[in-house]
Amino acid sequence: QKEVEQDPGPLSVPEGAIVSLNCTYSNSAFQYFMWYRQYSRKGPELLMYTYSSGNKEDGRFTAQVDKSSKYISLFIRDSQPSDSATYLCATKLDDKIIFGKGTRLHILP
């Protein structure tokens, strides 16, 4: 079992829709959870990180962690074509970042 599982997509949604991206993880020792956005031919860019269970909001983005079910989500409200990218969930253990495969997201104008 991979440490962080993520559906690679692609996921296509119309502009303005709410996007839900999800990951599961296997190790209950994981404490920090992150979401990165990666545009084509670019390095990953940190969007949000959270430590505890619950929700964390930043503008149109909400990160959600449910440690009881080992489930991580990222919600994007009012999605824009500029949100089209690959979204990577990640966690950290002993200073090592462990990434999921990434989900390719297409926002259709």
CA gap 105, 95 in Å, rounded: 28
Q: Does 1 bind another protein (CB under 8 A)?
A: no
Q: Which among 57-65, 67-75, 76-84, 87-95 is the span making contact with another protein, rule CB under 8 A?
A: 87-95
3-state SS, one letter per residue, for 46-78:
EEEEECCCEEEEECCEEEEEECCCCEEEEEECC
Q: Which is nearer to another protein, 18 or 97 (CB)?
A: 97
Distances (CA, A) of 68 to 2, 10, 25, 36: 18, 28, 11, 23
Binding mask 18-47 for another protein (x = CB under 8 A): --------------x-x------xxxxxx-
Q: Which is nearer to another protein, 38 or 62 (CB)?
A: 38
| Residue ranges that bind another protein, judged by CB under 8 A | 4, 6, 8, 32, 34, 41-46, 49, 88, 90, 92, 94-102
